Amino acid sequence: MRLLTVLGSLGFLLFATLSGLEAQQTTDVTEQEIERYRAMISDPMANPAFLNVDRGEALWSTARGSKNVSLQQCDLGEGAGKLEGAYAKLPRYFADADRVMDIEQRLLWCMQSLQDLETTDIVRRRFSGPGVVSDLEDLVAFVANKSSGMKFAVSISSLKEREMLAVGEALFYRRSAVMDFSCATCHGDDGKRIRLQALPNLAKPGKPAQETMGSWPTYRVSQSQMRTMQHRLWDCYRQMRMPAPDYASDGITALTLYLTKQAEGGDIVVPSIKR
Amino acid sequence: MMMPKFVFLCAIAFGTLVAHIGNVWGQQPAKASLEQVEAYVRNTWKSPPAGWESRIKQDETQRVCSQFRNDPPRAEYAAIKAREIATLVFPADGNVLGSWKAGEAVAQTGTGGQFSDKDDTVRGGNCYACHQMAPKELSYGTLGPSLAEYGKIRKFESAEAKAAYAKIFNAQSVLPCSSMPRFGAHKFLTEQQIKDVTAYLFDPASPVNNP
């Protein structure tokens, strides 16, 4: 009942947000409304993204693939099946794959190597939408939630992690495409905004990076979906006029490691809810 | 008996210090080489749509600005400036001013050229993303300086209008490694659109010049 009411208000807010695109004064009011609304539903039971957490939990323990096993033996870095705190240390190096992986890459790895699951359709449904449920978004919500209340602590101890971090930093400053944008164009200074949208400074360690990274995955009110960092960076590359980056590719992992390093020590409170 | 012990302790202290320095150095992420970064880029955009390949590759100016994080040394600065000035194309009849009303749409429009857009989506300059322009428009970004009353402040002089046209055509012909897009050089906006948005800045009737 309560959840239905909340979903109703979300629908209304989405409508208000869209109308706001036309009349800017409305957007101002909408921003305040959403801020107030966000404070109001700090109660986890009222955040629709907890539906994703529940679905993710069910998927985690469902036997699938030609091996007909669940993901419960998947090693996210803390040992097979250990979920607590695993997300706080990702992306990280995995010896079995001899690669640095982010959460999505690791989940796909486990599906393929542990379950022998055909992932083409799962990757096709990587981003949820009307009538499309994303297994990966649900699983990330579930896994990330098991690190809620903890702090980011990525390790940069192996050679491959060091390379990933260095490349991530270079990608952050890499200008390209018809707008000459890099991530730093929009996220390289304190207190900037694009139109009325505040932009976090992600070019240095500190509070903006911590609060940003510590709040993903998140329920995006404007999209009526829960989203992960894969989607956020895909969307920023869209604004940069770059082609869509491949899902779960190393460039996205490199950027995610760089951003997570900037957010080191930051509190993880996920899934959150945002504009 | 005192001496060897002292030496021993010193050795331990020295060893710890060396290990510590080594550790600190080890923690410093080495800079990635250009080849490394470009290998990741190729791997992240394995099969871009036809016609989009050039967006993934950097031109020389993008490469140098990225390398020096938009603060190029003197020689590179001069090289970029010369190269970007060479791209400038002014309207054949010398008139850089179009219609301010059409220019307002160019300044307000933030779509076009994104992978979510259709091929025929009209492209905008999205100037309001970064600049204050008409003082009455409250939704503006702060990545660039305010352009409110831009033409009025410059007494609507035609040389100033021509300079603004050049700035919009290729921001880096004026300031190498500026974060403002090179709208004309990339053929992102048409000559007419650049004339229109220049008129938006320089027409005395434009809302930009009327608080």
Q: What is the ipTM of this complex?
A: 0.91
- Nearest neighbour of B29 by CB, restricted to A165, A238, A239: A165
Residue boundaries of the structural domains of chain B: 10-85, 100-209
Give me the residue label for tokens 């990545």: B143
B80 touches B72 (CB < 8 A):
yes
Give me the residue label for tokens 């109308």: A19
The token pair at A39 is 């404070």
* Interface-testing mutation among A21, A173, A174, with chain B (most B C-beta atoms within 10 A): A174
Q: What is the reported pLDDT for A2?
A: 40
Residue B5 touches partner A, C-beta closer than 8 Å: no
Gap from B45 CA to chain A (nearest CA, Å): 5
Among the listed residues A44, A270, A38, A255, the one whose alpha carbon sits nearest the alpha carbon of residue A152: A270
Q: What is the reported pLDDT for B39?
A: 98
**Sequence-separated (6 or more) residues with CB below 8 Å from residue B53:** none
Among the listed residues A237, A236, A220, A217, the one whose alpha carbon sits nearest the alpha carbon of residue A228: A217
Q: Tell me how many residue pairs between chain A and chain B have CB atoms under 8 A apart.
A: 131
Estimate to the nearest angstrom the gap between the alpha carbon of A139 and the chain centroid: 11
Give me the residue label for tokens 């204050």: B132
Tens of pLDDT, residue by residue, chain B (211 residues): 344 444 444 444 444 444 444 344 445 557 999 999 999 999 999 999 999 999 999 999 999 999 999 999 999 999 999 999 999 999 999 999 999 999 999 999 999 999 999 989 999 999 999 999 999 999 999 999 999 999 999 999 999 999 999 999 999 999 999 999 999 999 999 999 999 999 999 999 999 999 9
User: Pseudo-torsion of CA B167, B169, B173, B174, nearest 10°?
Assistant: 0
Q: Which residues between 31 and 60 in chain A have a beta carbon less than 8 angstroms from any beta carbon of chain B?
A: none
Q: CB–CB of B140 and A167 under 8 A?
A: no
* Interface-testing mutation among B27, B126, B137, B179, with chain A (most A C-beta atoms within 10 A): B179
Q: What is the reported pLDDT for A46?
A: 77
A88 touches A151 (CB < 8 A):
yes
What's the pTM value of the predicted model, to 2 decimals? 0.89
Q: What is the reported pLDDT for A275?
A: 87
Tens of pLDDT, residue by residue, chain A (275 residues): 344 344 444 444 443 333 333 344 555 666 666 566 556 555 667 799 999 999 999 999 999 999 999 999 999 999 999 999 999 999 999 999 999 999 999 999 999 999 999 999 999 999 999 999 999 999 999 999 999 999 999 999 999 999 999 999 999 999 999 999 999 999 999 999 999 999 999 999 999 999 999 999 999 999 999 999 999 999 999 999 999 999 999 999 999 999 999 999 999 999 999 88
The fourth-level CATH superfamily of domain B100-209 is Cytochrome c-like domain (1.10.760.10)
Residue B111 touches partner A, C-beta closer than 8 Å: no
Q: CB–CB of B40 and A251 under 8 A?
A: yes
The β-bridge relationship of strands A218-220 and A272-274 is parallel
Cα angle, residue A134 at apex, residues A132 and A139 outer, rounded to 5°: 160
